[in-house]
């Protein structure tokens, strides 16, 4: 099972030209002025040879940017890229050229990957020199990591001054395909699970309440994942659904929890929000590795309860991938947390919220196990209760 790592599955997509740019060399200006001067001299003295030379020079200047532009825009190529990558991680892309008349004429092409959606077109790879192009030839290159979210495949720029070397013509190619950039995950040891097991924040402080603990009974059924024991197969349901299903058993003494991401919290900046998303992905990865299989809730309104949830790790990473700081800031609510939405739960709830929230330290009225992970916005803050833990940066993951 992959947890947001690069997906080996690749799919080719056709690249289309979207923009071009010209860059003049100083020798172009010199040749153009020289040809223009020779033309006026030939007109005044009536010399046919000087007129012929001036026309040749001016024609070379015109062809120096027309010919490379036509050659580059006539290229036909396909791009292969993974469908899923992790934020910040490098990944590989492959460019394959199709047969076209311009391949036989093009030489010395500089290839580079840029972020076509950014205003400044940020460079995402080193420049590659393709000395010669041919049908079926492929160029493989490494691309810098992208930001979390659903992103378009980075644009490609091909630049050449062949054959005259006086004008550089750069053409941008865009691919109509999206990449799912999963959030990064940090190593989490699960120290907060000891606080779940100790019952320090469980109402009444007793482990006998059953909140956040597994028994030996079956929790439910789920799709078969490679590595599951055949003893846990649910053969009747597998035959009914046409796919392998397994019983999901609870483990004795293992604290179980679900994760709630508070979108309605007072998130102060994008860095704080990204830290919260990273924490959510890391904790979900830990839970699935331990066999707890936590559910993910996206808390858009504190008064409407926990709302919809998802259990599959791939779906959870997709949900986290779609979260946007600007959208969360628009939906900012000044509601207090309604503890009635988690009453009577058999599993503990880990709530990820902003450190600006004034969450109560006494949760006796909640009648449920609630643990709060507060994300700092860069200002000094402390966790004010035994049920709270403060995360102020990437170095704080060692304490989780």
Identify the band that residue 104 occupies on the pLDDT scale cut at 50, 70 and 90: confident
Mean pLDDT for all residues in the chain: 78
For residue 125, the Cα-to-chain-centroid distance in whole angstroms is 17
- Partners of residue 160 on adjacent β-strands: 169
Q: Give percent above pLDDT 70 in the chain.
A: 74
pLDDT digits (tens, 9 = 90+) for 352-366: 888 765 554 444 444
Pick the range with the lowest mean pLDDT from 17-31, 127-141, 293-307: 293-307
pLDDT digits (tens, 9 = 90+) for 91-103: 988 888 887 887 7
Identify the band that residue 201 occupies on the pLDDT scale cut at 50, 70 and 90: very low
- Partners of residue 213 on adjacent β-strands: 255
More confident residue, 222 or 359: 222
More confident residue, 345 or 4: 345
> Within 10 Å of residue 162's Cβ, how many Cβ atoms?
17
- Alpha carbon distance 361, 247 (integer Å): 37
| Max avg pLDDT among 117-121, 196-200, 275-279, 379-383 | 275-279
Give the pTM. Answer: 0.73
Work out the burial of residue 227: count CB atoms within 10 Å of its CB; fewer than 13 is exposed, 13-18 middle, 19 or more buried.
exposed
Average pLDDT of the segment spanning 216-242: 75
Q: What pLDDT is recorded for position 305?
A: 57
Q: What pLDDT is recorded for position 377?
A: 73
All structural domains of the chain? 10-182 (2.60.40.10), 192-214+254-399 (3.40.50), 216-249 (no CATH)
Whether residue 14 contacts residue 84, with contact meaning beta carbons closer than 8 Å, is answered with: no
Whether residue 167 contacts residue 23, with contact meaning beta carbons closer than 8 Å, is answered with: yes
Pick the range with the lowest mean pLDDT from 141-145, 214-218, 377-381: 214-218
pLDDT digits (tens, 9 = 90+) for 312-335: 888 999 999 999 888 877 665 545
DSSP 153: P
- Alpha carbon distance 375, 277 (integer Å): 10
More confident residue, 88 or 101: 88
């Amino acid at each position: 099972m992959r947890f947001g790592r690069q997906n080996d599955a690749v799919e080719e997509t056709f690249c289309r030209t979207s923009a071009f740019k010209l860059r003049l060399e100083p020798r172009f200006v010199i040749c153009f002025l020289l040809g223009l001067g020779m033309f006026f001299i030939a007109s005044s003295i009536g010399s046919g040879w000087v007129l012929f030379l001036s026309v040749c020079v001016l024609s070379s200047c015109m062809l120096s940017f027309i010919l490379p532009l036509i050659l580059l825009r006539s290229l036909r190529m396909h791009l292969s890229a993974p469908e899923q990558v992790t934020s910040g991680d490098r990944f590989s892309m492959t460019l394959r050229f199709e047969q076209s008349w311009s391949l036989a004429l093009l030489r010395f092409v500089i290839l580079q990957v840029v972020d076509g959606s950014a205003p400044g077109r940020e460079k995402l790879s080193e420049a590659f020199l393709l000395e010669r192009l041919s049908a079926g030839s492929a160029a493989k290159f490494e691309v810098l990591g992208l930001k979390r979210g659903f992103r378009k495949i980075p644009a490609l720029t091909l630049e050449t001054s062949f054959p005259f070397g006086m004008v550089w013509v750069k053409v941008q190619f865009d691919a109509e395909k999206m990449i799912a950039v999963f959030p990064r995950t940090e190593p989490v040891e699960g120290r907060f699970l000891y606080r779940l097991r100790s019952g320090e924040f469980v109402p009444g402080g007793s482990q006998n309440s059953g909140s956040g603990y597994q028994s030996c009974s079956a929790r439910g059924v789920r799709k078969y994942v490679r590595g599951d024991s055949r003893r846990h197969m649910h053969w009747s349901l597998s035959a009914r659904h046409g796919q392998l299903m397994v019983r999901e058993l609870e483990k004795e003494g293992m604290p179980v929890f679900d994760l709630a991401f508070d979108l309605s919290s007072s998130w102060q900046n994008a860095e704080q929000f990204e830290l919260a998303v990273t924490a959510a992905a890391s904790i979900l990865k830990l839970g699935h590795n331990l066999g707890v299989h936590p559910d993910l809730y996206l808390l858009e309104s504190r008064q409407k309860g926990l709302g919809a949830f998802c259990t599959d790790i791939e779906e959870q990473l997709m949900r986290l991938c779609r979260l946007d700081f600007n959208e969360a800031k628009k939906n900012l609510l000044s509601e207090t947390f309604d503890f009635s939405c988690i009453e009577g739960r058999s599993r503990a709830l880990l709530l990820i919220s902003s450190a600006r929230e004034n969450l109560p330290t006494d949760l006796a009225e909640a009648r449920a196990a609630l643990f709060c992970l507060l994300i700092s916005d860069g200002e000094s803050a402390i966790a004010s209760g035994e049920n709270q833990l403060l995360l102020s940066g990437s170095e704080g993951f060692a304490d989780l």
